[in-house]
């Protein structure tokens, strides 16, 4: 009798445990179903990222971790040469390394480059400067038409573009499938011709969603059908994806982003051709997508989902690199550091050469060099800086495409050298054979050489931050576009405060 009682008790316990297990499996099945389901949002374009949390908690919570990458790294302080290279252009005022997607809006408002508008019609930048910062951009393009979106000043959308890079940048608002929501990418791919958007596979999409923003682009200035001035984000891919193809394209259309303040060169600013550089590397050639390394699949207690904390894959090597590579993490890291050092060596040499070329060209003008004499010099400087910038602005191409990065930097150094040989002759001819470009060691010294009123820029910015920004936030809240809770407690970190 006693035996039976014990058996019964054991069976009951087992049954109890089983049902807990079954319940937990069912719960997980429900959650997995939810992950793969489509929510019915009230609005066609819900751009408040936090609204997605109740449907997709794991994707939202991991997305929100991009908030942890919050260090400000002042690149001008690290490399004062940058100030001289960008003299006369916004980047000489303020330039930080990228940080988490969560900060895209704050950083865009805070950078000295976007200036200090006092109303919607003032400020140095066009609306196009919002384009890669927010899901509110595809929403506006959809509501107002793409052409209208690209008209007016940056400040026009201060109370409209308010949520940082999020769900509606990469997903279809109805089905949540991956989708590119910026048509200029479709058009550029069609013009280039190798891969059309309509032929893109799911694996291609895992890269193309990033290529909406991590690409080279320029602002094409044109009139809209209704006669308004527009600055339209355009990708220069007509001749192909390489640095040489794009250089040729820009030369053909005689485009320049600005005229260099010291050397008077018609300059090109490389943006961040991450997609194009990736294509030339071992991973791009094998179609290892951006998401394969930056958004790995994650298993958590039987649930499989995509990690949306887009950051440095080296912090998560077991889920990324180690899926494909058999060498140890330590070996891979050593290999990457070696690549980084090789790049840094040429990167620094290129900056020093190009900076000297600008200053020597400035001197040449001063002592009476003619336009004809200077034309070939300016062409060399234009190409040298474009190439150097291309190799380092496509962060971090030294890893995504190591050989191409070194090739592009080597050609930059070569072209800067050519410019300086020509300049030596010109300076000698005009009696300045002994000229030595001034030396500088810090960001402040470099900004003084180019005559940049840094203090005033900061004061103006602080006024803008005190006056216009709170107004923008309030209006956005009234329109139902912004939830102040979503940015509560965030410190406004900048390079200047």
- Does the CA dihedral 234-238-243-249 come out positive or negative? negative
Closer to ligand HEC by Cβ: residue 170 or 412: 170
Looking at the chain, how many residues does it have?
Answer: 497
Closer to ligand HEC by Cβ: residue 210 or 450: 210
Task: For residue 453, count other CB atoms closer than 10 A to its CB.
Answer: 11
Task: For residue 450, count other CB atoms closer than 10 A to its CB.
Answer: 21
Nearest distance, CB of residue 315 and ligand HEC, angstroms? 9
Q: What is the largest CA-CA distance in the chain?
A: 117
* Secondary structure letter of residue 326 according to DSSP: -
Nearest distance, CB of residue 177 and ligand HEC, angstroms? 8
With a CB cutoff of 8 Å and minimum separation 6, the contacts of 293 are 283, 313, 320, 321
Nearest distance, CB of residue 428 and ligand HEC, angstroms? 42
Binding residues for ligand HEC (CB under 6 A): 35, 49, 52, 56, 59-60, 63, 69, 97-101, 103-104, 107, 132-133, 165-167, 169-171, 176, 178, 202, 206-207, 209-210, 212-214, 274-275, 278, 281-283, 286, 288, 290-295, 305-306, 308, 310-314, 320-321, 323-325, 332, 335-336, 395-396, 399-400, 402
Report d(CA 308, CA 295) in Å as an integer. 6
By the 8 A CB rule, do 301 and 28 touch? Answer: yes
Give buried/exposed letters for 242-251 (b at 16+ CB in 10 A, else e): bbebbbebbb
Closer to ligand HEC by Cβ: residue 90 or 362: 90
Closer to ligand HEC by Cβ: residue 119 or 177: 177
By the 8 A CB rule, do 32 and 56 touch? Answer: no
Closer to ligand HEC by Cβ: residue 436 or 488: 488
Report d(CA 213, CA 53) in Å as an integer. 24
Closer to ligand HEC by Cβ: residue 167 or 476: 167
Nearest distance, CB of residue 135 and ligand HEC, angstroms? 8
Nearest distance, CB of residue 181 and ligand HEC, angstroms? 9
Report d(CA 135, CA 132) in Å as an integer. 9
Nearest distance, CB of residue 113 and ligand HEC, angstroms? 12
Closer to ligand HEC by Cβ: residue 62 or 418: 62
By the 8 A CB rule, do 147 and 225 touch? Answer: yes
Nearest distance, CB of residue 69 and ligand HEC, angstroms? 3
């Amino acid at each position: 009798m006693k035996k039976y009682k014990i058996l019964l008790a054991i069976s009951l316990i087992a049954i109890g445990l089983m049902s807990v297990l079954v319940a937990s499996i069912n719960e997980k099945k429900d959650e997995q179903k939810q992950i793969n389901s489509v929510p019915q949002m009230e609005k066609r374009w819900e751009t408040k990222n936090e609204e997605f949390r109740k449907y997709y908690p794991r994707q939202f919570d991991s997305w929100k971790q991009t908030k942890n990458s919050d260090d400000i790294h002042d690149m001008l302080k690290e490399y004062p040469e940058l100030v001289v290279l960008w003299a006369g252009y916004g980047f000489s005022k303020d330039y930080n390394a990228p940080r988490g997607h969560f900060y895209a809006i704050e950083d865009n408002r805070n950078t000295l480059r976007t200036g200090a508008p006092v109303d919607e019609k003032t400020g140095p930048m066009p609306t196009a400067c919002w384009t890669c910062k927010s899901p509110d951009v595809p929403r506006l393009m959809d509501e107002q038409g793409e052409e209208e979106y690209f008209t007016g000043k940056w400040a026009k959308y201060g109370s409209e573009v308010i949520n940082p890079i999020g769900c509606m940048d990469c997903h279809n608002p109805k089905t949540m499938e991956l989708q590119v929501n910026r048509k200029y990418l479709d058009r550029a791919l069609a013009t280039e011709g190798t891969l059309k958007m309509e032929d893109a596979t799911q694996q291609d999409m895992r890269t193309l969603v990033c290529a909406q923003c991590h690409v080279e682009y320029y602002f094409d200035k044109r009139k809209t059908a209704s006669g308004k001035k527009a600055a339209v984000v355009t990708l220069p891919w007509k001749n192909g994806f390489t640095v040489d193809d794009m250089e040729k394209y820009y030369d053909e259309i005689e485009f320049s982003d600005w005229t260099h303040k010291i050397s008077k060169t018609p300059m090109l600013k490389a943006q961040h051709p991450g997609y194009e550089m990736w294509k030339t590397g071992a991973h791009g050639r094998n179609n290892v997508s951006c998401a394969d390394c930056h958004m790995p699949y994650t298993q958590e207690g039987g649930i499989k989902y995509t990690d949306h904390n887009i950051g440095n894959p080296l912090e998560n090597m077991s889920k990324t690199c180690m899926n494909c590579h058999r060498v140890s993490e330590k070996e891979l890291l050593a290999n990457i550091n070696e690549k980084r050092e090789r790049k840094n060596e040429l990167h620094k040499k290129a900056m020093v050469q190009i900076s000297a070329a600008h200053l020597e060209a400035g001197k040449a003008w001063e002592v009476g060099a003619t336009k004809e004499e200077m034309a070939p010099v300016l062409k060399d400087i234009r190409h040298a800086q474009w190439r150097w910038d291309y190799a380092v602005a496509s962060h971090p191409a030294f890893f995504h495409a190591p050989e191409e990065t070194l090739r592009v930097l080597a050609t930059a150094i070569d072209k800067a050298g050519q410019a300086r040989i020509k300049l030596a002759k010109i300076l000698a001819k005009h009696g300045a054979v002994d000229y030595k470009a001034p030396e500088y060691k810090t960001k402040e010294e470099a900004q003084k050489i180019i005559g940049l009123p840094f203090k005033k820029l900061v004061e103006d910015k602080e006024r803008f931050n005190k006056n216009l920004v709170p107004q923008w936030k309030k209006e956005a809240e009234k329109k139902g576009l912004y939830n102040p809770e979503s940015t509560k407690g965030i410190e406004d970190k900048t390079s200047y405060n």
